[in-house]
Structure 1
Amino acid sequence: MTDDPRLNPQDDEEIDPHTGHREVDPVTGYDTTGHDWNGIRELNTPFPKIALWALALTVVYSIIAWVLLPAWPTGQNYTRGLLGLDQGEMAVERYQAISADRNNWLAKFETGDFATLQADDTLMLPAMVAADRLFQDNCAACHGSDGGGGPNFPALNDNYWLWGGDPETIAETLHVGINSLNEDARFAQMPAFDYLERGERIALTDYVTAMPQGTADPDGAGATLFADNCSSCHAENGGGGMMNGAPSLIDHAVIYGQDRASVSATLRNGRQGVMPAWSGRLTTAEINLLALYVANLPQRAVEGQK
């Protein structure tokens, strides 16, 4: 007897009724088992040895792994294995290594020498990747993932700034916030124009609503009201840029909306937005890095349109 079923007839093997001999597959030379599926006959082939070896190696590996690695639960704990590995400790060690490497290059941003930092391409290119993560984690919820702003929050990717768009000024704004609890916070408030007559507010609303389209009547009553009540903060042309927290009224990234209903509500009730001071959450180096990132958003927006 041998292991090859082609040489060892079995009792249940298919017998050719015409010859009285075992049915043999003419292609492979193996006996058939007698099982037939729509003309497809099962061959009586030996179990593949490679599968037996794979099974044996799996069992051996499992036994070794159970001994060396954390494996068996013991209620509130588990067996540590002879190697004493702990994924929690490994994760902490790797995080500490990454954090140490990050702190090495981030420390260069402590100085606030923005001109020198901006000139160092070797530093800035990888740093901007980390800055983008800072922006997405801390700023995007209000200002949008691209800095394009949104209802009640100013855009950061244009050239209209409430207090200036250079890195030094942005860093200061991030440090102290706007109308925040910080004692040095930047203060800005749009007063309620309830002292105007209803007709005057309507005329001023119409004028301000038309400013982004450039269709505001320069000789109408609204223009006079704007010059008397608004230009000191928003500039004579409504372009802002006075570095006092008053936004531009001639671009399309209006903070509170510039449709008639929104402008009317602003004139009637006033506005006072708030941005928290980030000095309690972010380090000085992180704030400086973020300031460089935000200062570059207008250029990135222009490049993205090309």
Structure 2
Amino acid sequence: MALGERDPVTGYLTTGHEWNGIKELNTPVPRIVYVFLILTTAVGLIYWLLMPALPLGTTYTKGLLGYDDRQAVNRDLARIAADRGPWHEALDREGYAVLAADEAVMQEIREAGHLLFGQNCAACHGIHATGNAGFPNLAAGALNWGDSFEAMQETIRVGVNSVHPETRTAQMPAFGRDGILSRGEVDAVVAYVHDLGRDGIAAANLAHPDGAETFSAQCSACHGEDARGDTEIGAPNLTDTTWLYGGDLQTIFKTVWYGRQGQMPNWEARLGARNVKLMAAYLADIRARTP
């Protein structure tokens, strides 16, 4: 194919390239492309003149409009703080009973609390606060350290087995691994505890007398003679249907044999007193609205 041959259909010159009988035409760049290039260049120049754009060592061109992102962010933060002021003041000042009676304040707490919980707590407790294996259901059921607003606020503040100097501290001994109980005694108390929540303490005493005896000697100091636990020391109620790690025989055996030492971070330093209270109010509201 000759260079500079003119295509008889379009009238464009060819480039001299040909593939399988298909000839490449030397078509001009569409005028619309030039239009867009000119417009883009013009917009860039206008933006450069009006807005901060060009670095100049330790400073930059301020632009004819004098726009400053930092000032804009500060204005937005000030506006948000002003909008939140009334309910923040109520949150700082009032107890949960007063907060719960104010629907406008509670709506703010629900929205802010949902975001705060999702950012900090959902990884362990789930986005709906319903818990996971080893992490308690905060939306319903008993909590080891108590489920009152005040108890939850304190748990969130200091954590459990955390580095906070006032942390809540609890540990389930490894009765089997550390040789505190024999294998037979562990099996007996596991069967006894398994039936406590299902059949009640009286039936469990009758069905598993050896387990009941071992429980009284080794476990009642924390869980109580009636096995209903003690929220002052974080010992769970073993007579209900709420299980942190699981209520099947295998899981109870693992708990008794190897022990447990759950851990929860303290949130006082990270969140601050206001947000700790906000989180407790958010969870208290969820629990109040959960059937």
Q: When the two structures are superposed, what TM-score results if normalisation uses the length of structure 1?
A: 0.69
Task: Confirm or deny that 1:109 pairs with 2:91.
Answer: yes
Check the 8 A contact 1:166/1:295 in 2, yes or no: yes
Task: Confirm or deny that 1:186 pairs with 2:171.
Answer: no
Q: Equivalent residue of 2:237, what SS?
A: coil
Aligned residue-pair number: 272
Q: CA deviation at 1:130?
A: 0.6
* 1:94 matched residue in structure 2: 76
In the aligned structure 2, how far is the partner of 1:195 from the partner of 1:60?
A: 83
Of residues 185, 191, 199, the one that matches 1:206 is: 191
Task: Confirm or deny that 1:84 pairs with 2:66.
Answer: yes
Check the 8 A contact 1:143/1:156 in 2, yes or no: yes
* 1:66 matched residue in structure 2: 48
Q: Deviations over 1:21-44 (max 9, x none)?
A: xxxxxxxxxxx99xxxxxxxxxxx
Note closer, same or farther for the CA distance 1:88–1:198 as it changes in structure 2 (3 Å cut): same
* 2:237 matched residue in structure 1: 248
Q: Structure 2: which 5+ runs fail to align?
A: 1-7, 12-29
Q: CA deviation at 1:87?
A: 2.9
Q: CA deviation at 1:160?
A: 0.6
The one-letter code sitting in structure 2 at the alignment partner of 1:146 is: H
Of residues 122, 136, 159, the one that matches 2:141 is: 159
Note closer, same or farther for the CA distance 1:105–1:298 as it changes in structure 2 (3 Å cut): closer
- Radius of gyration: which is bigger? 1
Task: Confirm or deny that 1:223 pairs with 2:205.
Answer: no
Q: Structure 1: which 5+ runs fail to align?
A: 1-13, 15-31, 34-46
* 2:247 matched residue in structure 1: 258
Note closer, same or farther for the CA distance 1:243–1:56 as it changes in structure 2 (3 Å cut): same
* 1:24 matched residue in structure 2: none
Check the 8 A contact 2:216/2:225 in 1, yes or no: yes
Check the 8 A contact 1:149/1:155 in 2, yes or no: yes
Check the 8 A contact 1:178/1:274 in 2, yes or no: yes
Q: Equivalent residue of 2:150, what SS?
A: helix
Q: CA deviation at 1:205?
A: 1.7
The one-letter code sitting in structure 2 at the alignment partner of 1:287 is: V
Cα RMSD (Å)? 4.1
* % identical aligned pairs: 38
- Stretch of structure 1 that moved more, 70-79 or 278-287: 70-79
In the aligned structure 2, how far is the partner of 1:240 from the partner of 1:232?
A: 9
Q: Deviations over 1:108-165 (max 9, x none)?
A: 2223522222211121111221112222222222222222222322221223122221
The one-letter code sitting in structure 2 at the alignment partner of 1:131 is: G
* 1:131 matched residue in structure 2: 113
Q: CA deviation at 1:200?
A: 0.9
